[in-house]
Amino acid sequence: MSDKLYHECHEVISQGRAILEDLQQWGFESVMKLPDEEPVATVGQAQQGVLTPNTLAELEAGLSGCSLCSLSKQRKNIVFGAGNPQARLVLVGEAPGHEEDEKGYPFIGEAGKLLDKILLAMNLSREDVYICNVLKCHPPGNRDPQADEIAACEPFLKQQLALIQPELIVTLGRFAAQELLKTTKPIGKLRGQWHEYEGIPLMPTFHPAYLLRNPAGKRPVWEDMKQVMQRLSRN
């Protein structure tokens, strides 16, 4: 929901409550029962973590119009994430690229098509998994995310993962692996082995965009994904 629509809805609800309260004072108790006021997530509350969302949709609505970091100034769309809210497997990338920014959807374009092929080979589709990024807004020129941007945005990823509660996480590329595992080890040393993020087994692997430039990386990625498939079939 856009900020404007949200505030308009809130205004209408407030006016409705005021009318009902007036009618109650005039003795119309029997025709109405005022509902207990529901806590309503405002953009500010959700951004400050004051209100804990119960669903991904609530979290996404609370993120609308986010301006917690400077990436908000140039983005076209917040790319929240997409897929199955009850996914057993969540894939986490770095940040939306240009095409994702245009469409508001994660992993489209050539890297996204390659990711779809990897999922297909695993006998999975986008409807089975959930795909998101550490940062929800596009860094200009695909530059590396900056520390203040990560600090501002990472809590939303944490909330996403807490709401989905996946059995497994796969990080795509160096940045997501290093960020979730709080390490500076290179991706070549991290991939291929199981790690843990807040109690959830995590497999780092190469980013599909890297595979487009370095096709030799496809074999190790497939080895990593075979480990993921084995674990999914065990659980």
Nearest-approach distance from CB 6 to ligand SF4, in angstroms: 16
Token output for 182: 């709080």
Helix (H) or strand (E) holding 52: none
Tell me the C-alpha to C-alpha distance, in Å, between residue 132 and each of 11, 79, 189, 191, 202.
33, 8, 23, 19, 15
**Residue 51 burial (CB count, 10 A):** 17
Helix (H) or strand (E) holding 2: none
Interface mask toward ligand SF4 for 142-161; x: CB under 6 A: -------x--xx--------
Nearest-approach distance from CB 172 to ligand SF4, in angstroms: 18
**Residue 28 burial (CB count, 10 A):** 11
Q: Which is nearer to ligand SF4, 137 or 177 (CB)?
A: 137
Interface mask toward ligand SF4 for 97-136; x: CB under 6 A: --------------------------------------xx
Q: Which is nearer to ligand SF4, 69 or 92 (CB)?
A: 69
Q: Which of 46, 56, 59, 69 binds ligand SF4 (CB under 6 A)?
A: 69
Q: What Rg, from alpha-carbon coordinates, does the chain have?
A: 21
Helix (H) or strand (E) holding 13: helix 3-25
Return the residues of window 172-191 that contact ligand SF4 according to CB under 6 A.
none
Q: How many helices (H) and strands (E) does the chain have?
A: 10, 6
Position 77 contacts ligand SF4 (CB under 6 A) = no
Helix (H) or strand (E) holding 47: helix 43-48
Q: Which of 41, 43, 46, 71 binds ligand SF4 (CB under 6 A)?
A: 71
| Residue count, binding to ligand SF4 (CB under 6 A) | 14
Contact 163, 55 (CB under 8 A): yes
Residue 86's Cα: distance from chain center in Å?
A: 13
Point out which span in 16-24, 59-67, 123-131, 194-202 binds ligand SF4 (CB under 6 A).
59-67
Point out which span in 37-45, 64-72, 103-111, 224-232 binds ligand SF4 (CB under 6 A).
64-72
Binding site for ligand SF4 (CB under 6 A): 63, 66-69, 71-72, 78, 135-137, 149, 152-153
